[in-house]
Structure 1
């Protein structure tokens, strides 16, 4: 398998297909679960934002949204296993794209219409965005790579509508330029943010840029499985990256899984009054909860603009 510039196996081919079936077939085999583990934390942040601001139907910008996975999980109250079954089983391979879209629209009408949130997706994959929009998982989309170019006026307006910003694995492919563009899109109002970031990617520089923009960032307790390594070569490359960064992989990546940390960034006024409560683990995969509970948290050096 070919490795990309980050040292991870390249899975570009599953993000650019007309529908999500190759995406879910590939990632189910790798035990991909980070959207499921992120779901209760995102739901808790939405609840907190509603209480703090009075906004009843917040707009959520999902960076690296692909086919609208986080939007489907949160709006339709599904699990990642539900989506694996939805797209991989029950004869889904025998159907065409129009049938899949019709079924997903029915799903949104029956389970997502009263979710009380609106999703906008930001992604560099046009086919993935097109599917998520057509299915109804997204209410808006920004097809852009903000690491290489500034958003157009129309894209900036779509981004500026965001009340919250989330991501589950895109940091490392996107960085300071993207998140700075998102944070400053409105000009006055700043969205709250929550990013799940693989341990192989530092977040300090991004947090520093956000601090310059008026944010305070905290790393929440816990580590979260993303997926299994796709090959021994991928694992070896990632272990080398962690070693160079001074991150101890024992009991974690050394045992065959990517792990992520959760960073929450709020405008300073909101951060000063926020009370952080751990999200309920009810939706978490039991084996992952057990691993998390047994992990001895290792001390980390955190920059002054990060709160722990």
Structure 2
């Protein structure tokens, strides 16, 4: 697919299908760099804090908090969660002349050392889920993911191995997938849960999220957000995408003034946690 195509799930939104399932992330970073794609940067500290809060809330009874990252792509959220790295450093790494000259196999060898040398002492297991099989294979090969599944839960039930993996996940994260995945994916995953699960989702303001909130409530998860704060995602690809985004933002009940009208997609952060039990 080309940049000029639009998304079927978010009308008017440019598609980047050609970068999501390459053998490695170099094309992904080269394409998104000019658009200043930045939401993983904003998610980094949020995911770390939420992981710590989830561990503290349950007294470590379940062991280290296993994170399930939805639409995980090349493992970028896992890289930022578990390593002494910034998103800017990842852009620099994957767009550098040194990595450009490597084959994918050579890059995998380089990246194994790159990530291992930056591993944080508080790193915890991360499971990746994405329909893009080559992307998750890369993330698994370089050690960003402890387990990875290329399954589409919008169309199929989770396989037995995914079910077993999800059973121990304490935190579900997502930065860029809502709209491509819906309440169906969350329901399929929560059916597999065997420990208390928290959900942290960054959602484009152009995409309705209420159906997911309603589904999570059926599993006794209460969802909250701070409507006064947004997190920028990326620049628009052009005036047509911006006009469509402004219209979609209005249709979901948000005011685009000073945000989408200024040239960028913005996201809302939703935190879903188990309903407090009566004392």
Q: Same fold (TM over 0.5)?
A: yes
What residue is the counterpart of 1:31 in the other structure? Answer: 36
In the aligned structure 2, how far is the partner of 1:118 from the partner of 1:67?
A: 16
8 A contact 2:169–2:197 mirrored in 1? yes
In the aligned structure 2, how far is the partner of 1:71 from the partner of 1:138?
A: 7
1:229 to 225, 236, 255: 236
What residue is the counterpart of 1:219 in the other structure? Answer: 225
Root-mean-square deviation (CA), in Å?
Answer: 1.6
What residue is the counterpart of 2:73 in the other structure? Answer: 66
What residue is the counterpart of 1:280 in the other structure? Answer: none
Gaps of 5+ in 1: 274-308
8 A contact 1:59–1:163 mirrored in 2? yes
In the aligned structure 1, how far is the partner of 2:168 from the partner of 2:253?
A: 39
In the aligned structure 2, how far is the partner of 1:222 from the partner of 1:2?
A: 30
What residue is the counterpart of 1:117 in the other structure? Answer: 124
8 A contact 1:218–1:265 mirrored in 2? yes
2:246 to 239, 242, 245: 239
What residue is the counterpart of 2:95 in the other structure? Answer: 88
2:52 to 32, 47, 50: 47
Cα separation, partners in 2 of 1:116 and 1:53, compared to 1, 3 Å: farther
Q: Which moved more, 1:115-124 or 1:238-247?
A: 238-247
1:258 alignment partner, SS class: strand
8 A contact 1:33–1:226 mirrored in 2? yes
How high is the TM-score relative to the length of structure 1? 0.84
8 A contact 1:15–1:66 mirrored in 2? yes
1:91 alignment partner, SS class: helix
Q: Which moved more, 1:174-183 or 1:153-162?
A: 153-162
Matched, 1:169 2:176: yes
2:5 to 2, 5, 26: 2
What residue is the counterpart of 1:193 in the other structure? Answer: 199
2:240 alignment partner, SS class: helix
8 A contact 1:35–1:168 mirrored in 2? yes
Q: What's the CA shift for 1:142?
A: 1.6
What residue is the counterpart of 1:178 in the other structure? Answer: 185
Q: What's the CA shift for 1:226?
A: 0.4
8 A contact 2:200–2:271 mirrored in 1? yes
8 A contact 2:153–2:188 mirrored in 1? yes
2:214 to 189, 208, 213: 208
4+ residue stretches of structure 1 with deviation over 4 A?
none
In the aligned structure 1, how far is the partner of 2:96 from the partner of 2:191?
A: 43
Q: What's the CA shift for 1:113?
A: 6.0
In the aligned structure 2, how far is the partner of 1:108 from the partner of 1:205?
A: 37
In the aligned structure 1, how far is the partner of 2:149 from the partner of 2:196?
A: 18
Q: What's the CA shift for 1:152?
A: 1.4
In the aligned structure 2, how far is the partner of 1:28 from the partner of 1:213?
A: 38
8 A contact 2:73–2:136 mirrored in 1? yes
8 A contact 2:169–2:195 mirrored in 1? no
